[in-house]
Amino acid sequence: MSIRGLFITMEGGEGVGKSTNLTFLENFLHDKGVDVVCTREPGGTRIGEDIRNLLLQIRQEKVSAMAELLLIFAARAQHIREFIEPALATGQVVLCDRFTDATYAYQCGGRGVAWDTVKQLEELVQDKLRPDVTLLLDAPTAVGMSRARGRGELDRFEQEDLDFFERVRISYLKQANDDSGRYRIIDASVSLDSVQQQLLAVGNEVFSYWRERSVES
């Protein structure tokens, strides 16, 4: 009998080190023999990456919050059908850099879109698909922003002000608090070494869960 894989998402504000730490977790699981694939949102498919470019590009005209939201869910719809669901169906562990919790944090928290609007789209586009585990890399907003700004040119989201990212952080922490069974909060304000020690604990937890399920099947 084949088993369904695991869907793990990584979330956090700007400059918290998601990419580096996602690669670290991917390598850790891969070395343990786990069949793991990495992807990201917005993006993960050719259509999704085109939409990502559209979303991140700095434009002269103001992008309406609703247009932004629908583009994000259009990319997500394609990502789920073309990549995430097929991978989970073959038993793979899918590590995804951001998913719908980012929409609650950025579009609801940051832009002020109604929570219920995102909820309706989530149900329409995802049906029952929700992450099994979500890692929140958390750091004080000013710390993350100064790291992000040090990377050079800013995209359309990174140009937002400190208040916007404070609201994003508050939303993430609230989501983590409301769904503590799914969330693991990682303190990303400490050294990379200490962040990775925390990630190893989650990696080991995921590995044990994956192994148990493999033995059962």
Give residues in contact with ligand TMP (CB under 6 A).
18, 41-42, 72, 97-98, 102-103, 106-107, 157
Cβ neighbours of 193 (radius 10 Å) = 7
Q: Write down the least CB distance from residue 204 to ligand TMP, Å.
A: 25
Q: Residue 34 and residue 112: Cα distance in Å, rounded?
A: 39
- Least Cβ distance, residue 130 to ligand TMP (angstroms): 14
Nearer to ligand TMP, 170 or 201 (CB): 170
Strand, coil or helix: 71: helix
Closest to ligand TMP by CB, 34 vs 48, is 48
Identity of the residue, 98 or 184, whose beta carbon is nearer to ligand TMP in the bound complex? 98
Q: How far is the CB of 3 from ligand TMP (least distance, A)?
A: 27
Helices (H) and strands (E) in the chain, counts: 9, 5
Tokens of 57: 């590009």
Q: How far is the CB of 157 from ligand TMP (least distance, A)?
A: 3
What does the block give as tokens for 140?
């004080």
- For ligand TMP, which is the closer residue by CB, 26 or 97? 97
Residues in contact with 166: Cβ distance below 8 Å, sequence separation at least 6, in sequence order: 141
Which residues, in sequence order, are CB contacts of 183 under 8 Å at separation 6+? 134, 135, 136, 175, 176
